[in-house]
Amino acid sequence: MDLYNHRKDIGKNLSLYIRLKGYSKSSFSRLVDISRPTLNQILSGESPRKTFKEQITQITQTLNLPLDYFLTKPAFELDRWRTPAVQYSDNAPEGERNLMARELLEDLDQLMSMAALYL
């Protein structure tokens, strides 16, 4: 089974799994013993071919799931209010945000996602 050809779908399904289970990216990366930058690569479907299957194997074994678990989307959908929405300000500077701003906004997004689970 060539999981790498399905890396985008696996990344989306894994991201949904992380949110539904109430993990932050940081806590999930610690749980499965994969670095946060590597987890971000997996979630975005940009993980290198030579390490992708090994990383997915590590995740599924840690969670006691079958290797092909993240090939399919969970049978249920998130409520609309739980689905994160990216909103951009009209006053935002043009071009790419700096690394620190991106990390802070990503952390804020995770906090908001976690708060939505408890509402």
For residue range 50-74, what is the model confidence (pLDDT) as tens digits?
Answer: 999 999 999 999 999 999 999 987 6
Cα–Cα distances in angstroms (integers) from residue 8 to residues 48, 73, 78, 88, 98, in the given order:
12, 12, 19, 24, 25
Distances (CA, A) of 75 to 13, 23, 104: 11, 19, 32
| Domain 3-71 is found in CATH 1.10.260.40 | yes
Percent pLDDT > 70 in the chain is 76
- Single pTM value for the model: 0.63
Instruction: Provide the 10 A C-beta neighbour count for residue 79.
Output: 8
Question: Given this model, what pLDDT does residue 115 score?
Answer: 76
pLDDT of amino acid 2: 82
- Angle 44-21-8 from CA coordinates, rounded to 5°: 20
For 96-119, what is each residue's pLDDT tens digit?
667 777 777 788 888 877 777 666
Q: How far apart are CA 71 and CA 12, in angstroms?
A: 9
CA dist 107 and 10 (Å) reads 22
